[in-house]
A and B are shown apart, each in its own frame.
Chain A
Amino acid sequence: DSGVTQTPKHLITATGQRVTLRCSPRSGDLSVYWYQQSLDQGLQFLIQYYNGEERAKGNILERFSAQQFPDLHSELNLSSLELGDSALYFCASSTGTSEYTGELFFGEGSRLTVL
């Protein structure tokens, strides 16, 4: 158990809908990262937050947004969903020490299926 909690584990929705994925980082971790894992694109970095502020942005679509709240949990909002958004969405966290070692602690992911 990495200590990173993601909900929901599975989600099925229709095209055009909006969903919110939630992540609780390990206790004490200030950084949260979101990754998308799909069959054709592999593991893609979406966005990183550090202590409530956006720190780095990857290949995140404009239809997607994220935020990190004062209690450090994060939410990834996916809107106007398309079939191609079906993927496994990972949240990961890191703390001060692992900022220098690079280790990220991953949650179990949220499996999104868009029908």
Chain B
Amino acid sequence: AQTVTQSQPEMSVQEAETVTLSCTYDTSESDYYLFWYKQPPSRQMILVIRQEAYKQQNATENRFSVNFQKAAKSFSLKISDSQLGDAAMYFCAYRSARAGNMLTFGGGTRLMVKP
């Protein structure tokens, strides 16, 4: 079974600075997808960014980018120019390309943004 580990329960960043959230995963598969979801206090899970394992290029969505290291099974999220609205729980998630759309989530990282 696949597992996803987020080793940082909490992180804090100063507004306008950059922060990196870590995620590692364990799988024996070669074809899969990785995601970062954001859960603000409103509770709703919002997709931040997606990475296909077969793509070597790291995904980027505006201020959000990932560092995908397939051999190391690492998938970190970098948030640039942090904003107060970025404060939330961030979850890393894995989906096998074979297993339908079931997502396996990490334990989450709470990000605090200081003004």
Chain A residues packing against B (C-beta within 8 Å): 2, 31, 33, 42-43, 45, 48, 50, 55-56, 58, 88, 90, 92, 94, 98-99, 101-104, 106-109, 111
Contact = CB atoms under 8 A, between A and B. Distances in A.
Contact of B100 (A2, A48, A90, A108): A48
Main secondary structure, interface of A, reads strand
B101 A48 contact: yes
B45 A56 contact: no
Given A33-B101, A43-B105, A104-B103, 18 more contacts: A2-B44, A33-B102, A42-B105, A42-B106, A42-B107, A42-B108, A45-B102, A48-B101, A90-B45, A92-B45, A94-B101, A101-B50, A102-B35, A102-B95, A103-B35, A104-B47, A108-B42, A108-B43
B33 interface: yes
B104 interface: yes
A58 to B, nearest CB: 7
